Amino acid sequence: MSTATIDPILLSVYARTFKSITDEMSISMEQTTRSPILCEAKDYVTGLYDGDGNMLEQTENLPILAFSLAPVCKYIKEFFGDDLHPGDVIFHNDVFSLGNQNNDVAVFKPIFLDGELVAWTAVKGHQADIGGNVRGGYNPNAVEVWQEALRIPPVKVVEKGKLRKDVWGLIFANIRLDIVQHDMKAEMGACTVGERRVQELIARYGRQRIEAHVAALYDATRTAAIRARARCITTAATRAASSPSASTSRSATTTSASTTRAPTRRPTASSTAPSPPAPRPPS
Q: Give the least confident one: 3-12, 33-42, 192-201.
A: 3-12
Residue 279 binned pLDDT confidence (cut-offs 50, 70, 90) = low
Distances (CA, A) of 8 to 19, 64, 196, 198, 217: 17, 33, 25, 20, 10
The confidence score (pLDDT) of residue 272 equals: 47
DSSP 78-102: HHHTT---TT-EEEE--GGGT-S-T
- Which residues make Cβ contacts (< 8 Å) with residue 30, sequence separation at least 6? 38, 39, 42
pLDDT at 265: 53
Could you give the 3-state DSSP secondary structure of residue 154? Answer: coil
Torsion of CA 25, 30, 34, 40, to 10 degrees: 140
pTM of the prediction? 0.81
Rounded distance, CA 18 to CA 43, Å?
21
Q: What gap in Å lies between CA 22 and CA 172, rounded to an integer?
A: 27
CA distance 107 to 101: 14
Position 283 scores a pLDDT of: 46
Between 28 and 280, residue with greater pLDDT? 28
Residue 260, number of CB atoms within 10 A of its CB: 7
Mean pLDDT of 176-196: 98
Q: Does residue 97 have a pLDDT over 90? A: yes
pLDDT at residue 6 above 90? yes
Listed range (25-34, 83-92, 214-223, 268-277) with the worst mean pLDDT: 268-277
Largest CA distance in the chain: 131
Query: What pLDDT sits at residue 271?
Result: 47
Q: What is the mean pLDDT of the chain?
A: 88
The whole-number average pLDDT for the span 162-191 is 98
pLDDT at 160: 98
Domain ranges of the chain: 8-205
The stretch 144-173 carries a mean pLDDT of 96
Of 25 and 269, the one with more pLDDT: 25
Q: What percent of the chain is predicted at pLDDT more than 70?
A: 85
Q: What band does 282 get if pLDDT is binned at 50, 70 and 90?
A: low
Q: How far apart are CA 186 and CA 89, in angstroms?
A: 13
Per-residue model confidence (pLDDT) at position 238: 83
Percent over 90 (pLDDT), the chain = 72
Q: What pLDDT score does 194 carry? A: 98
Q: What is the DSSP letter of 20?
A: H
Lowest-pLDDT choice from 30-34, 85-89, 271-275: 271-275
Residue 270 has pLDDT above 50, yes or no: no
C-alpha span between 231 and 255 (Å, rounded) = 34
